[in-house]
Amino acid sequence: MRRRSLLSASLGLGTLAGLGYVGVNRIAPSGLALHAGSAQAFGTTVTIQVLHPDPASAQAAITAALQQVSLVDALMSVHQPRSQVYQLNAQGQLNHPDPHLLAVLTYARQLSNQTGGAFDITVQPLWQAFSQAQANGQLPEPLALARVRALVNWQGVTTQPDQIELAAPGMAITLNGLAQGYAVDLALAALRAKGVAHALLDTGEFGVIGTKGSDQPWVLGIKNPRQTDALTARVPMDGRALCTSGDYETFFSADFSHHHIFDPATGYSPTPLASVSVLAPTGMMADGLSTAFMVLGADKALALAARLPRVDALLIHKNGSQQRTADFPELSA
């Protein structure tokens, strides 16, 4: 279900696709060697590229970072029966929650407050309703959807250090709008702890450390939401995380009017925007805001971005028109 938002990394050092564990790939312009590793998580291939002079140290750092990604996936998957999110959804409560889960839930509540409920982790029943209807070649019936929408209420998630509880039977959460960004943050911290000064990380959301060599920034390409082989923008990374939400990755109608992002107020997908890309100080913030901005729509999204330090956004409407914050960095595509 998760999005592969950015078409490619314009690295000058190769792309991110299809990497396995390797040794030295190429000598970077700075004289550092490029090392890479990958793992499966979040239903996709997570990849890391590191510039480092020592192969053993580079691979140790990559392994440590991928372990952090796997940890987040194992805790927060809605599909894995052993995950704490799965257990919470199945039982309606969870005892002894992991501190990482509590940290993500704390930010989820903050973001729900900031957005007036536009961001809501309890939309999982809507996803289930649309998925089940799609299996029969249909959309959910309005009355059935109304019953499901009644379960959507971010304020119905009670979080305490020793227990998480959902307010009503049938409620369920999804952290698919935060977990991959949070994994970026943990993985980057692991790389830094191992002495890595230059890296590019892709969990489906993107984070960087340093540069790609010779003081040149890592550059990421944001794909056109209607032309999967074309770029809309090339973004020079400045140390912030970059995340994109779009209507095109998982959709329930051919015109993209029904997709995996839901407006909690209506139970349906927000219609004006095709994609939103957000740069923010942390991966979790960029991940959550990209989803929230899709729901808020352009005017409210841009107004909120203007109030948040070091947050920039590129919004693409379904008709192809674009809006962006004044300081959104961009190279010609």
The 3-state DSSP composition of the chain as helix, strand, coil percent (nearest 5) reads 35, 25, 40
How many Cα atoms occupy the beta-carbon half-sphere of 281 within 13 Å? 4
Q: In what order do the strands lie in the sheet with 93-95?
A: 93-95, 163-166, 157-160
Q: What is the CATH number of the domain that holds 141?
A: 1.10.3980.10
pLDDT in tens, the chain (333 residues): 344 444 344 333 333 322 222 233 455 555 689 999 999 999 899 999 999 999 999 999 999 999 999 999 999 999 999 999 999 999 999 999 999 999 999 999 999 999 999 999 999 999 899 888 888 888 888 998 999 999 999 999 999 999 999 999 999 999 999 999 999 999 999 999 999 999 999 998 999 999 987 778 999 999 888 887 888 899 999 999 999 998 877 766 666 567 678 999 998 888 899 999 999 999 999 999 999 999 999 999 999 999 999 999 999 999 999 999 999 998 864
What DSSP string runs through 33-55?
EEEEEEEEETTEEEEEEEEES-H
287 is in an annotated binding site: yes
The two three-digit tokens of residue 205, written as one number: 């959301």
Q: Which residues contact 34 (CB under 8 A, 6 or more apart)?
A: 13, 14, 24, 25, 26, 27, 28, 49, 50, 51
132 in a structural domain? yes
From residue 29, alpha-carbon distances to 13, 174, 201, 212, 284 in Å are 9, 42, 19, 8, 31
- CA 77 to chain CA centroid, Å, is 13
254 in a structural domain? no
Tell me how far apart the alpha carbons of residues 83 and 57 are, in angstroms, rounded to a whole number. 31
From residue 294, alpha-carbon distances to 100, 244, 278, 288 in Å are 26, 10, 11, 10
161 in a structural domain? yes
Cβ count within 10 A of residue 287: 33
Q: Which amino acid is at 228?
A: T
Sign of the Cα torsion 233, 271, 43, 99 reads positive
- Residue showing tokens 């920039």: 312
pTM: 0.90
100 in a structural domain? yes
Q: In what order do the strands lie in the sheet with 227-236?
A: 6-9, 219-224, 227-236
65 in a structural domain? no
Predicted local distance difference test score (pLDDT) of residue 254: 67
Q: Strand (E) positions, 170-240?
A: 198-202, 206-209, 219-224, 227-236
93 in a structural domain? yes
Predicted local distance difference test score (pLDDT) of residue 256: 59
Domain count, the chain: 1
220 in a structural domain? no
141 in a structural domain? yes
Tell me how far apart the alpha carbons of residues 252 and 296 are, in angstroms, rounded to a whole number. 20
Tell me how far apart the alpha carbons of residues 245 and 286 are, in angstroms, rounded to a whole number. 10
Residue numbers of the domain that contains 121 = 86-166
Tell me the β-bridge partners of 6: 222
Tell me how far apart the alpha carbons of residues 174 and 201 are, in angstroms, rounded to a whole number. 23
Cβ count within 10 A of residue 255: 9
Predicted local distance difference test score (pLDDT) of residue 40: 95
From residue 276, alpha-carbon distances to 96, 149, 206 in Å are 35, 24, 14
